[in-house]
């Protein structure tokens, strides 16, 4: 079996072996119970160490794609196991409901995070061991109200690469980006306040605003960012308190903010005294050259996260803002959560300091870039309409040539694909025939079959 390992690639060899074996199982529809060549044979044929091959197989056992017998032989496990499990919760259209619990194993094409098969545990495990050996306080004590000083120092240095000048005392750590947004909403906005949100946009933000009884005004998103002509009218008519916006790797369209649009947006919000909250949870999937509003205006409240790139379980994010806002957020954070996890913050600080995190996101960007280019070609060949061609990130926003959305859902079900809800990305819950497609899931054979079957020259499913 040829695994086609590229030793010049940024992706670690063990992860390449995992990917190659996963592709063989998925794309060739290998029958459960099929025995793999021995570890020794795979290593010899591909000029690899046996330890690397064995580690890759053990990872696939943990993901449910392989099973181990007698401690040495590996076999293909039952199909549709958790190697493609979504690590980020979202709303899903239950197209497989009548299939019992089959939806558990469906490919969640619009998932908001990376598949488990993309996650790399080596550097994370090393950092965890380092913290447990050298930082006893990190195991047992609360963090400070602002967050671990060593982590905030590292964050300050990283932000400078984005041209965002932020002293460590202007950075507040959070339990992920959603926690940061929650602190902002409950601290800076009053029930009944009016805010502007992008449409399509982030479903969890809409739920959060509804929970706090905040009124939302929809601002259309274009491939170049928010529609600033519409924004001008909304600001004059509704006089909102705040604007929530993605700049890089917009969720769900994958679009990036154009510099001219950013300048015009800031000009309008300054003129109308509107607070700008910039959610950059997916920003590390994009290079630092992209425009960030916080780099252009120090009054912008900036929210970041490491849950998407590093670990959805580690749950570390941060907020950057002026001194008075940080002080208020810190007070509320202390009251509601007793501070963040010092252990998680110590692990992340270690990964930032030793350069492992930087190399990790480089590998993810490279891999996403290759997969995005391939997926765009597949969609073009199948006559899908694409909102814009992302230059990075997880998402492509596209719609099928099939005009019947219910028919599209039935077609997806046939291929074992679960689509996100057609109302999830609208603040008002309006139906849409556009789909959020996660690039990291879309190379799966089920997704490729679904895209091609939905082409114009294919019969629709009755």
- C-alpha gyration radius of the chain: 23
Task: Give the chain's mean pLDDT.
Answer: 88
* Whether pLDDT at 124 is above 60: yes
| Residue 71: band (very low, low, confident or very high) from pLDDT cuts 50, 70, 90 | low
Please tell me which residue, 141 or 395, carries the higher pLDDT value. Answer: 395
* Whether pLDDT at 431 is above 80: yes
- Given this model, what pLDDT does residue 289 score? 74
Per the structure block, which two tokens stand in for 272?
Answer: 């109308």
- Given this model, what pLDDT does residue 87 score? 56
pLDDT 10s digits, 341-386 = 899 999 999 999 999 999 999 999 999 999 999 999 999 999 999 9
pLDDT 10s digits, 297-329 = 999 999 999 999 998 888 899 999 999 999 999
- Given this model, what pLDDT does residue 175 score? 93
Q: What is the mean pLDDT of residues 38-57?
A: 91
* Whether pLDDT at 150 is above 50: yes
* Whether pLDDT at 86 is above 70: no
Q: What is the mean pLDDT of residues 54-82?
A: 77
* Whether pLDDT at 80 is above 70: no
Predicted TM-score of the model (pTM): 0.82
- Given this model, what pLDDT does residue 420 score? 85
- Given this model, what pLDDT does residue 94 score? 41
* Whether pLDDT at 102 is above 70: no
- Looking at residue 92, the DSSP 8-state letter turns out to be B
| Spatial contact of 39 and 57, defined as CB atoms under 8 Å apart | yes
* Whether pLDDT at 29 is above 80: no
Q: What is the mean pLDDT of residues 424-430?
A: 93
Spatial CB neighbours of 387, under 8 Å, sequence gap ≥ 6:
223, 253, 254, 255, 396, 397, 398, 434
* Least confident stretch, 132-136, 186-190, 220-224, 309-313: 132-136
Q: What is the mean pLDDT of residues 63-68?
A: 83
* Least confident stretch, 54-63, 174-183, 429-438: 54-63
* Whether pLDDT at 95 is above 70: no
* Least confident stretch, 125-139, 170-184, 252-266, 375-389: 125-139
- Given this model, what pLDDT does residue 257 score? 93
| Residue 27: band (very low, low, confident or very high) from pLDDT cuts 50, 70, 90 | low
Q: What is the mean pLDDT of residues 154-165?
A: 94
- Given this model, what pLDDT does residue 84 score? 53
Query: What share of the chain has pLDDT > 90, as a percent?
Result: 59
Q: What is the mean pLDDT of residues 443-454?
A: 90
* Whether pLDDT at 8 is above 80: no
- SS3 (DSSP) at 301: strand
Spatial CB neighbours of 14, under 8 Å, sequence gap ≥ 6:
52, 55, 56, 59, 122
Kindly provide the b/e burial profile for residues 47-60, where b requires at least 16 CB atoms within 10 angstroms of the residue's own CB.
ebeeebbbbbbebb
- Given this model, what pLDDT does residue 89 score? 59
- Given this model, what pLDDT does residue 101 score? 40
* Range list of β-strands (E), 6-108: 66-69, 73-76, 107-108
Measuring CA to CA, how many Å separate 229 from each of 60, 215, 221, 263, 299? 50, 21, 11, 13, 22
């Amino acid at each position: 079996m040829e695994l086609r390992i590229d030793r010049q690639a940024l992706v670690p060899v063990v992860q390449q072996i995992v990917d190659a074996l996963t592709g063989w199982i998925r794309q060739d529809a290998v029958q459960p119970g099929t025995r793999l060549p021995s570890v020794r044979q795979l290593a010899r044929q591909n000029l690899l160490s046996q330890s690397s091959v064995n580690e890759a197989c053990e990872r696939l056992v943990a993901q449910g794609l392989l099973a181990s017998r007698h401690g040495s032989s590996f076999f293909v496990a039952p199909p549709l196991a958790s190697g493609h499990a979504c690590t980020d919760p979202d709303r899903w259209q239950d197209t497989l409901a009548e299939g019992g619990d089959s939806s558990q194993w469906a490919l969640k094409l619009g998932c908001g995070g990376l598949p488990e098969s993309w996650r790399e545990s080596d550097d994370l495990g090393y950092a965890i061991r380092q913290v447990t050996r050298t930082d006893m306080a990190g195991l047992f004590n609360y963090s400070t109200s602002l967050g671990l000083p060593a982590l905030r120092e590292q964050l300050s240095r990283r932000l400078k690469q984005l041209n965002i000048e932020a002293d460590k005392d202007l950075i507040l750590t959070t339990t992920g980006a959603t926690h940061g947004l929650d602190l902002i909403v409950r601290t800076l906005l009053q029930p009944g306040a009016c805010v502007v949100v992008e449409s399509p946009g982030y479903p969890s933000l809409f739920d959060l605003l509804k929970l706090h009884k905040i009124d939302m005004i929809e601002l259309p998103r274009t491939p170049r960012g928010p529609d600033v002509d519409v924004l001008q009218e909304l600001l004059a008519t509704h006089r909102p308190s705040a604007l929530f916006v993605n700049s890089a790797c917009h969720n769900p369209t994958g679009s990036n903010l154009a510099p001219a649009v950013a300048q015009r947006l800031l000009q309008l919000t300054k003129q109308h005294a509107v607070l700008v909250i910039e959610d950059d949870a997916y920003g590390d999937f994009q290079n630092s050259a992209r425009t960030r509003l916080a780099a252009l205006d120090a009054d912008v409240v900036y929210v970041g996260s490491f849950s998407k790139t590093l670990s959805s379980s580690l749950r570390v994010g941060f907020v950057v803002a002026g001194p008075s806002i940080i002080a208020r957020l810190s007070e509320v954070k202390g009251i509601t959560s007793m501070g963040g996890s010092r252990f998680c913050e110590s692990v992340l600080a270690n990964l930032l300091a030793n350069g492992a995190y930087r190399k990790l996101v480089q590998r993810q960007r490279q891999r996403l870039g290759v997969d995005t280019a391939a997926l765009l070609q597949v969609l073009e060949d199948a006559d899908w309409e694409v909102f814009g061609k992302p230059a990075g990130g997880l998402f492509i926003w596209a719609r099928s040539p099939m005009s019947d959305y219910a028919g599209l859902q039935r077609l997806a079900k046939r291929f074992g694909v679960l689509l996100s809800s057609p109302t999830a990305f609208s603040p008002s819950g309006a139906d849409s025939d556009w789909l959020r497609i996660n690039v990291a899931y879309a190379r799966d054979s089920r997704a490729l079959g679904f895209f091609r079957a939905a082409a114009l020259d294919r019969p629709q499913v009755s």
